[in-house]
Structure 1
Amino acid sequence: MAAPPSIADRLFWPVVLGGAASLWFGPRALAAAGAVVAVILLHRLGRGRRFRRLVRAIAAHHGETLALRRRQECYLDPYDNLIADGWLRERDYFVARTVAPRLERAGYGDLLASRRDEVLAIVEEAASRPEPEPAEADLPDDGIAYERFCAALLERAGWHARATRASGDQGADVIAECDGTRLVVQCKRYARPVGNGAVQEVVAARSYWSADLAAVVSNAGFTPSARKLAAATDVRLLHHDDLATLAPRPSDRRR
């Protein structure tokens, strides 16, 4: 995409034509040309403000998703260091695939490189909204209680859900049904991203329980290998916050 005209390009013809007109029509023509130049300058000077306003609007529109992805992709390692590598990749992806195309279409694409830090700060602000209740500190500490917690969230969303027994579940911690759709869930209360072992288990559970949908639910994020395997096996990777609004679709039911 070609760069937008510079301020000098925009002012060239108004100045030239205004100067020429003033020779024929006097001070009034010169004043009119001056007014045109002033409008162009004011519009140009406000471009940065409009750029920021557009970025804030884009980030705010996706704020809930950004906040959820930030919670999923940030975690504390065993040494109490905040590991945010996954979130930083997610943030860059959002800027490249969502923000940049909108800026290009609106004529602000040339500003993105020079104002990238400003854009990232706006996205961080939008993603830093407080976590909805229940807070992480209020989550059950042990795995079995977390399974029951996830089943209760599904019940609120309209599913008939039950946590399975600790043994003999064949990879399904929760089994839920709604409108003829059966869902099997692996629940992982972890302090670090969940690996692809959980995806493999829930794939087996989907077959064993003849389920339509399979999901891994965690309070933490997921490793890149888990995401890759989930995409290949049609497994949903969810944060427990997603369960409160999870609803089956007609296309989810296996034929």
Structure 2
Amino acid sequence: MSGRSPTAQRLFWTLVLGGCASIRYGAVALAATASVCVAILVHRLDRPRRFRSLVRRIARRHAPTLALRRRQERFLDAYGNMIEDGWLRERDYFVERTVLPLIEERGYSDYAEPRFEEMVEIVERVAHAQVLPDERETPEDGIAYERYCADLLEEAGWDARPTGASGDQGCDVIAEKAGLRLIVQCKRYGRPVGNAAVQEVAAAALHWSGDMAAVVSNAGFTPAARKLAGTTGVLLLHHDDLLDLVPERRTGRRRAPATGR
């Protein structure tokens, strides 16, 4: 019996027990056994629908975040092509880390691999259907984009100022809040930002005695940039994230002596 599916096992034992009962109770037991077998089969046939419904419920609980990440990680490049690489990675990550553990917990572990793409499609539809506030129009010019990011930080309660175009040592905006200093490099790009920006802002944080360092972009980040950011403590942010940014001293970040500048 160990090689049979749960449904086959339920049917087998229902027939065995029902057959035994029918010896004593006759037609009534046979009718009851048939009804139970039909119910088991209907429940089995309805399993794919219940699986899809479960995945939708999981995705809808995170719909605002998914929709925001979808907007942040999709952008037009300089040639007018929609670049979705970042969103596709984010979508798969959500399915792997959030959806799969829950469906396995609910008894759908056999669906994890063969129905992975179906789960991804459900997440895509949920994210696409979620209504978000209109996106602010971001400046095209790099210097104006730095000012725009500083203004967003000001809205979030930071004391922020752009450093200017020259002599910034990889720092475009300096912001302070709750006694902590944030060093920001702003990238208004038509492609994902690479790890060079992470290296630059990490060095700038040391130069400017920063407690936090971040690269802010409209266009997402490469896997290499994300990997390096994870080891250096640099935040990788979409400009939308600045309105919710809170002061937090990053692990490993040390304030340099004031005389070192």
After TM superposition, give the deviation of residue 251 of structure 1 in Å.
6.5
Q: Does 2:162 match 1:163?
A: yes
TM-score normalized by the length of structure 2: 0.86
Q: Contact conserved, 1:187 with 1:217, CA < 8 A, in 2? A: yes
Question: In the TM superposition, what whole-angstrom CA distance separates every residue of 1:20-50 from its partner, at most 9, and x where no partner exists?
Answer: 2122112322233233223322322222122
2:22 alignment partner AA: S
What does residue 42 of structure 1 align with? 42
Matches within 5 A, 1:1-255: 5-128=5-128, 129=130, 132-135=133-136, 138-249=137-248, 254=254
CA shift digits 1:114-142 (9 cap, x unpaired): 3233211111113324554334xx11111
Distance 1:149 1:158 in 2: 15
Where does structure 2 lack aligned partners over 5 or more consecutive residues?
256-261
Distance 1:154 1:4 in 2: 60
Change in CA separation of 1:3 and 1:127 when aligned onto 2, cut-off 3 Å: farther
Q: Tell me if the contact between 2:158 and 2:175 (Cα under 8 Å) persists in the aligned partners.
A: yes
The answer to which of 158-167 and 59-68 deviates more is: 59-68
After alignment, is 86-95 or 190-199 more displaced? 86-95
**1:98/1:25 Cα in 2 relative to 1: closer, same or farther (>3 Å)?**
same
Q: Answer yes or no: is the 8 Å Cα contact 1:18–1:33 preserved in 2.
A: yes
Shift of 1:161: 1.5
What is the TM-score normalised by the length of structure 1?
0.87
**Whole-angstrom CA distance in 1 between matches of 2:216 and 2:131:** 20
Cα distance in structure 1, aligned partners of 2:188 and 2:131 = 20
Shift of 1:194: 1.0
Mapped contact 1:184–1:214 kept (Cα < 8 A)? yes
Number of the residue aligned with 2:259: none
Counterpart CA distance in 1 for 2:250 and 2:233 is 13
Cα 1:3–1:141, aligned 2, differ >3 Å: closer, same or farther?
A: farther
Large movers: runs of 4+ above 4 Å: 250-255
